[in-house]
Amino acid sequence: HTRLLHNDPQGIATAAAILRAGGLVAFGTETVYGLGADAGNNTAVAAIYAAKGRPGINPLISHFASADAAFAQVAATPLARRLAERFWPGPLTMVLPRAAHCGISPIATAGLPTAAVRVPAGDATQALLAACGFPVVAPSANPSGRVSPSDAQHVLAGLDGRIDAVLDCGPCRVGVESTIIGLGGDAPVLLRPGGITLEALEDACGMTLALPARGNDVRPSAPGQLSSHYAPGLPVRLEATAVEPDEALLAFGPPLPGSGLAWNLSATGDLHEAAARLFAGLRFLDMEGHRRGLVRIAVQHVPEHGLGRAIRDRLIRAASPRA
Ligand code: TXA
Ligand code: MG
């Protein structure tokens, strides 16, 4: 049985106490809900992989209340400090070399010499991390390979009974996961597009970033970039210019005619609105489409600039062949 905790001082204190005792608590961030555990507790970290059915080669992000707390665990570079200044708290994750005295469980970093760190935004998230006082690892709070959760009900739909509690922080403001930048090598690399746009990141870095290859490799070069990911139950067809009678429609801008079941990411073509509505839309069309006997989700074109890059990345993964 999974407890639903309210976003009030008592709920936050209870969530922190469960985490401190080695339990698993899902909580809202500005991006998606994360499934939290004490990053220094090997047993708790291992329990996250078990609850999600996540492959052990896929490392986790550690969450902190402040940049100082984050940079105590990794070897920060001047660029990392500049990015923290500009984007934290917010949807940016930095991959940096583990510090010599790093307190993050090696299970959480999948044995790698690097660790992913981020300072998320949001009052409840910040209050929870401050109450904990230790790094909190949190992958998205969904069974591995499924659609990420952007509200507390989404978390329960996938993990009820498998985790101790969910702190209900309301719907997530951004709606897609953090942007991940790799800072452990010679040049910074974009490992995952997300809530901070590539344009903003390149502007802050003062240079163009190397982009990851979009492949179908099962054993990813950047860990966790498994191609079949964010998958709803119904197959997904991208770049639709017409809708078949047996398809549900995920629209963007003026919707294609002829669809019985549709969810518009943004009727006005606003990419921020579209990101915030993406995962709820995939879940809705999947559930309702299945109930109505539809066989597919057709997706309209989304432009590849700003948050569109992250939205398209998630849609391409949702449409890629299942493992
Ligand atoms: O917005 C987010 O980032 C959310 C919220 C909860 O913070 N978290 C999230 O976690 O999306 P997850 O586990 O679903 O995705 C983490 C990604 C994975 O693709 C993983 O491979 C990558 O981060 N990652 C973690 N540590 C890494 C490392 N040391 N090197 C390269 N990639 C790493
Ligand atoms: Mg995830």
Report the complex ipTM.
0.99
Q: Please check whether residues 114 and 197 belong to one and the same domain.
A: yes
Cα 14 to Cα 12: distance, rounded to the nearest angstrom = 5
Q: For residue 70, is it left (φ>0), alpha (ψ between -120 and 50) or beta?
A: alpha
List strands edge to edge, sheet with 92-97: 3-6, 165-168, 25-28, 33-38, 136-137, 61-63, 114-118, 92-97, 179-182, 189-192
Is position 216 within any domain?
A: no
Q: What pLDDT digit, counting tens, does each position of 196-206 carry?
A: 999 999 999 99
Tell me what pLDDT residue 258 has. Answer: 83
Ligand 2 center to 52 CA (angstroms)? 10
Least confident of 73-87, 137-151, 222-236, 277-291: 222-236
Per-residue pLDDT reduced to its tens digit, 37-54: 999 999 999 999 999 999
79 and 140 belong to one structural domain: yes
**CATH number where 154 lies:** 3.90.870.10
pLDDT at position 183, please? 96
Question: Residue ranges for the binding site for L-threonine?
Answer: 31, 63, 118, 138, 178
Residue 219 has pLDDT above 60, yes or no: no
Q: What is the mean pLDDT of residues 241-257?
A: 97
The pLDDT of residue 211 is 87
Average pLDDT over residues 49-71: 98
Measured in degrees and rounded to the nearest 5, phi and psi for residue 46 equal -60, -35
Predicted structure pTM score: 0.95
pLDDT at res. 227: 60
Does residue 253 share a domain with residue 162? no
Q: Residue 69 carries which side chain, given as an amino acid letter?
A: A
Q: Is residue 164 part of a domain?
A: yes
Q: Are 185 and 258 part of one and the same domain?
A: no
Dihedral sign for Cα 278, 283, 284, 285, please.
Answer: positive
In-domain check, residue 121: yes
Clarify whether residues 257 and 123 are in a common domain: no
Average pLDDT for 300-308 = 98
Q: Answer with the residue of higher pLDDT: 135 or 225.
A: 135
pLDDT at residue 217 in the model:
40
Give the phi and the psi of residue 287 in degrees, each rounded to 5: -70, -50
pLDDT of the residue at 221: 45
Q: Examine the domain organization and report whether 65 and 165 are in the same domain.
A: yes
3-state secondary structure 28-89: ECCCCEEEEEECCCHHHHHHHHHHHCCCCCCCCEEECCCHHHHHCCECCCHHHHHHHHHHCC
pLDDT surpassing 60 at residue 21: yes
The encoded tokens of residue 3 equal 């407890």
Ligand nearest to the CA of 145: 2
With a cut of 80, say whether residue 153 has pLDDT above it: yes
Residue nearest to atom 20 of ligand 1 (CA): 224
Ligand 1 interacting residues, C-beta cut-off 6 A: 29, 31-32, 34, 58-61, 91, 93, 95, 109, 112, 114-116, 120, 138-140, 177-178, 180, 191-192, 222-225
Is the pLDDT score of 233 beyond 60? yes
DSSP bridge pairs for 237:
298
The answer as to whether 87 is a domain residue is: yes
For residue 72, give Cα distances in angstroms to 66, 96, 135, 181, 288.
10, 12, 10, 18, 47
Residues 252, 302: contact at Cβ < 8 Å?
yes
What is the domain extent for residue 251?
236-319
Q: Under DSSP, is residue 259 helix (H, G, I), strand (E, B) or coil?
A: coil
Binding positions for ATP are 54, 58, 114, 140, 148, 192, 230
Q: What is the pLDDT of residue 120?
A: 98
The mean-pLDDT minimum among 211-220, 222-231, 260-269 falls in 211-220
Q: Are residues 119 and 184 in the same domain?
A: yes
Are 252 and 310 members of one domain? yes
Q: What is the mean pLDDT of residues 218-229?
A: 50
Q: Kindly tell me the number of DSSP H helices and DSSP E strands found in the chain.
A: 9, 14
pLDDT over 80 (residue 275): yes
In a domain, 210, yes or no: no
Looking at residue 322, its pLDDT comes to 72
Mean pLDDT of 120-138: 98
Residue 155 one-letter amino acid: V
Inter-residue contact 67 to 84 (CB < 8 Å):
yes
Task: Assess whether 178 and 306 both reside in one domain.
Answer: no
**Which residue is listed with tokens 């949190």?**
138
The verdict on 128 and 273 lying in the same domain is: no
Strands 33-38 and 25-28: antiparallel
Determine, yes or no, domain membership for 141.
yes
